[in-house]
Structure 1
């Protein structure tokens, strides 16, 4: 795919996200996975040119069931910027999204550079802190329908993240209970073990994937490890709360009808 075509598609997905406007997915077979990541990089570069700062990456398809559903053999990843950060305990306005959903995750704060093929102990040694987190995902494609290249080009559906208090990095996070509630009603119950069997494997994968793109995880970067449960659709006026065993929690509010309060 030519650089001109990449920039044209990047503008399309960037405008869709910026304007909270649904678009049709790209025609099946029109994009390779390599093309899709080039579109993603160009799309996020447009955000950076507008003043946003890169802060890390997110991982997707971190459950075997999701990989099978999408017919893929590897994870996908997207880029995070500071404009995606939602204040813990803060509020979002659904007018900024197309099909917003929320899913419970863990977040890693990188303390030492990490890239390439690394071991679990090496990944562990690179972590400065871990925190409960939620990702707000929002496919810009009409009816939330997309194929693999389309979702990659759309920055892996990443739209927002809420991070709870950072905890020390040496805590055992292999099998932590995770409960996400909406308006006080428990909607999703899971375990951190659902993230590739152990969340640290997500960080190992992140190091490999960014290296394949000629990048590195740097001190201060945030890595979202991937969803521990299915996502929940967001509605006006909701209160969303996540509790993670031993780590604490995170929460946010959705503005009621009419927009932000």
Structure 2
């Protein structure tokens, strides 16, 4: 337990001060990695941050196969990670910042345990185009699967566009990620498990399993629809999603 607390403090300090830390010396089990994540976020809660949802990772079947796993990973979102649509982030506040195009869900009702896609959709109050800022706190961007999980699954920031009707068909929406007006990634929401609602179904099960069931008002980031793009000082990031509109932010030097 003391080792978990020590690693949690180390990763929390790395994120808080944007100072890279070496890859973990000892391999963790998946269970211990999530214990470290929970303890690290617990330190944030003690400083006044509040959990406002969760993010999903490895929501691509190909990525899961590449990593040799059959389960997605997840991390916590806090109110201090939220970036206003059209706002900006400070480049110096991150170690290795990258951005991914995503779909976000806003819950209007609690959602816990093993649920059907229809039940998950019934709990959704809105859906939106979203951007996630991911940031590994490990030196040289070198880490294992459990290292990533311990590091809050690289979750660092998120930007959500205007909320739309959740009745929209999300299975195959075109997505264009632009940096400084240039299209860098072109993809589809179908890359998120074939339909992002499946990611929400998994989120309900995993969050309850951790003793933190999803509740009304929570935001769930469904996972990256394309590869992540590096961020640099001065960048203007914009995502345009078919039927959902756009979301954007800037990177301050």
For the aligned pair, the TM-score class normalised by the smaller chain equals: over 0.9
| 143-152 vs 239-248, greater mean Cα deviation | 143-152
Conserved? CA contact 1:28–1:147, under 8 Å: no
1:190 aligns with 2:187: yes
Gap runs ≥5 in structure 2? none
| Equivalent position of 2:42 in the other structure | 45
The whole-number CA distance in structure 1 between the counterparts of 2:212 and 2:84 is: 27
SS at match of 1:168: coil
| Matched residue count | 253
1-structure distance, mates of 2:139, 2:185: 25
Are 1:26 and 2:24 counterparts?
Answer: yes
- When the two structures are superposed, what TM-score results if normalisation uses the length of structure 2? 0.98
- Does the 8 Å CA contact 1:133/1:164 hold for their aligned counterparts? yes
Q: CA RMSD in A?
A: 0.8
Aligned structure 1 segments of 4 or more residues deviating by more than 4 angstroms: none
2:175 maps to 178
1: CA distance, partners of 2:136 / 2:70: 21
Residue number in structure 1 paired with 2:7: 9
Offset, 1:112: 1.1
Q: For residues 28 and 249 of structure 1, what CA distance do their matches in structure 2 show?
A: 42
- TM-score, with structure 1 as normaliser: 0.95
SS in 2 for 1:201: helix
What's the counterpart of residue 82 of structure 1? 79
Aligned twin of 2:63 = 66
Which digits, 9 at most, give the CA deviation of each residue in 1:80-122, with x for residues without a partner?
0000011110111110000000000000001111111111101
Shift of 1:214: 1.8
Asked whether the equivalents of residues 106 and 130 of structure 1 are also in contact (C-alpha less than 8 Å), the reply is yes
**Aligned mates of 1:143, 1:58 — CA distance in 2:** 24
